[in-house]
Amino acid sequence: MGARVTTGRTLLAAVMGFGVALSAQAAEYPDIGPLPQLKIDKAKAELGKRLFFDKRLSGDAAVSCATCHVPEKGYASEEALSPGYPGNGHFRNASSLVNVAHRKVWNWDGRIGTNLNDMTREMLTEDYTMNMDMRIMQERVKQDPLYVKMFKDAGYGEPSNGSVRKAIPEYLKTLTSANAPFDTGKMSASAKRGMKLFKGKAGCIQCHNGPMMTDQKAHNTGVPENFDVFMDPMNHQAFIAFTMFQGIPNYMNLKRDPGYFNVTLLNEDMGKFLTPSLREVKYSAPYMHNGMIKTLAGVVDFYNQGGGKDSNKSKLLKPLKLSGKEKKDLVAFLEALSGDKLTSDKHVWKQPYPSEYEAIANWTEVRN
């Protein structure tokens, strides 16, 4: 699927073109601020919600999207490395999905730059996430009378794999920040001081800017490798399958996550990852593409020492010389970016799914 990479490459390049002219002064970065409202089709989103929590959308009906994107954990996973589809592990941290619809580029390495429909397809079909033959998925959905009704009510007509990939993104649009002190103006004094540092002395704004607090560009911050990717064969096999499929040279000997290199195949992009959003970050520990940093205080320490060790590291990262108090303030600000947990049934499908597929009555008489 070379086409997927090319799409990612082209679009990401376009997004990146944006920031180039901006100077290094904080004032000139797109300001952090409230997120724009998204228009949501209720019936479609409701359908997407039921699909998101339904294990029958994976090949062996053992995992749903929510297995790795856990509502309680900011729609991320509490493990450093995401769980995998049964029989596999994973080589990256499961991204938080809160506000994901506000992004233009997805995955830690930015390999998808089209839309959430493609992103959903990737999650459904990839061997080590859901390993779903979407033709089987479509027939499973058609076998569930409630889905048949919900697809109809949503205006999709007969259930199809195409409308599954539309309904889930509609649901993802509902996962947006609510009542974060940062948005409601109810930040503590410490958080307010932290915000000042964020925009000033600590220089976070250089990359974490705009309403989503991300430039959606790739940077190398020198996060150390998570050796569990390679020492646990379950994770390593997923990593090998991924790099093999992506056409990364010498993938059997690779001992690091290539990151954005995967998109451009340029050496200068080795070890770069997309700047993540910082909204709702309180809930989605551990942090970074491989979960190597356990707490927000740990992240701040990491930046305070100028990031990690990598010859390719971003020039924007330097030791910050923050005092103990300043570090606390910065953490308080990061925490103030998180609002209500999205764990009520407004966002979570809590009704049980049928344990068996009902047979279609009069099967010989009705059209398939």
Partner 1 sequence: MHLKKITLSLVAAAVATVFAGCQATAAKHEGAAAPTKMASAQMAMTPSGPPPLAPLGDAPIPPDNKLTPAKVELGKLLFFDPRVGGDASTGCSTCHEPEQGWAWAEDFSRGYPGTVHWRNSQSIINSAYFPRQFWAGSASSNEKQAKSAAKGGVAGNGEDDIMEARLALIPEYRKRFKEVFGTEWPIIDDVWHAIAAFERTMNTTGEHEVPLDKYLKGDKGALSEEQVRGMALFNGKAGCINCHNGELTSDTDYHNIGVPPNKRWEEDGLAQITFRFEQYAKGQTEEGYRNAKSDWGFYYRSKNKWDKGKFRTAPLRYIAYTAPYMHNGVFYTLEEVVDFYNRGGFDEEGRTTLFPETKSSLIKPLGLSDQEKEDLVAFLEAFSGPEIEMEKPEQPPYAPLFTMADLKAAQEAK
CB of 361 to ligand HEC, least distance (A): 27
60's contact among ligand HEC, partner 1, none, with CB below 5 to 8 A by partner kind, is partner 1
Query: Whole-number minimum distance, CB 42 to ligand HEC, in Å?
Result: 19
Q: How far is the CB of 45 from ligand HEC (least distance, A)?
A: 13
Alpha helices in 126-179 (DSSP H): 134-142, 145-153, 161-172
CA 266/CA 360 separation, integer angstroms: 54
Q: Which stretch binds partner 1 (CB under 8 A): 84-92, 147-155, 195-203, 261-269?
A: 84-92
Contact between 155 and 44 under an 8 Å Cβ cutoff? The reply is yes
Here's the x/- map for ligand HEC, 246-275, by CB under 6 A: it reads as ---------------------------x-x
For the chain, where are the E strands, in sequence order? Answer: 218-219, 273-274
Which two structure tokens, joined as six digits, stand for 30?
A: 């797109």
The residues with which 274 forms a beta bridge, in sequence order, are 218
Stretch that binds ligand HEC, among 21-29, 118-126, 135-143, 176-184 (CB under 6 A): 118-126
CA dihedral angle for residue 291, residue 120, residue 11, residue 248, rounded to 10 degrees: 60
Binding mask 290-329 for partner 1 (x = CB under 8 A): -------------------xxxx-----------------
Q: How many Å apart are CA 321 and CA 327, to the nearest integer?
A: 10
Among 134, 148, 248, 297, binds partner 1 (CB under 8 A): 134
Nearest in space to 218 (alpha carbons), one of 269, 279, 287: 269
Tokens 């839309």: give the residue: 115
Kindly state the smallest distance separating residue 241's Cβ from ligand HEC, in Å: 12
Q: Does 118 bind partner 1 (CB under 8 A)?
A: no
Minimal distance, residue 323 CB to ligand HEC, in Å: 14
Which three-class secondary structure state does DSSP give residue 225? coil
Chosen from ligand HEC, partner 1, none, partner binding at 41 (C-beta under 5 to 8 Å by type): none
Q: What are phi and psi of 106, to 5 degrees?
A: -125, 165
194 C-beta neighbours (distance < 10 Å), count: 27
Closest of 208, 219, 223, 171 to residue 348, by C-alpha: 171
Residue 132 binds to partner 1 (criterion: CB under 8 A): yes
For 52-75, the DSSP string reads: HT-GGGSTTS---HHHHSBGGGTT
d(CA 107, CA 123): 11
Under rule CB under 6 A, residue 283 binds ligand HEC: no
Minimal distance in Å, beta carbon 42 to partner 1? 27
Quick check: 190 binds partner 1 (CB under 8 A)?
no
Q: Is 193 one of the binding residues for ligand HEC (CB under 6 A)?
A: no
Q: Tokens 């228009």 map to which residue? A: 39
Neighbours of 105 (CB within 10 A): 23
Interface residue with ligand HEC among 45, 63, 175, 332 (CB under 6 A) is 63
Provide φ and ψ at 338, rounded to 5°: -110, 135
| 357 is a contact residue toward partner 1 (CB under 8 A) | yes
Q: Which of 92, 79, 90 is nearest to 232 (CA)?
A: 90
2 binds partner 1 (CB under 8 A): no
- Interacting span for ligand HEC (CB under 6 A) from 27-35, 145-153, 224-232, 279-287: 279-287
Report the alpha-carbon angle 169-78-137, nearest 5.
Answer: 35
Say which residue the tokens 């809160």 belong to. Answer: 98
73 lies in the binding site for ligand HEC (CB under 6 A): no
Residues that bind ligand HEC (CB under 6 A): 63, 65, 67-69, 82-85, 90, 92, 94-97, 100, 103, 106-109, 116, 119-120, 123-124, 129-130, 168, 202-204, 206-208, 219, 221, 223, 273, 275-276, 278, 281, 284, 287-289, 296, 299-300, 303, 314, 316-317, 330, 334
Kindly list the residues in this chain that would bind partner 1 in the complex (CB under 8 A): 1, 56, 58-62, 85-88, 121-122, 124-128, 131-136, 138-140, 142-143, 160-162, 222, 224-225, 227, 230-234, 236-238, 240-242, 244-245, 252, 255-256, 271, 309-312, 356-360, 363-364, 367-368
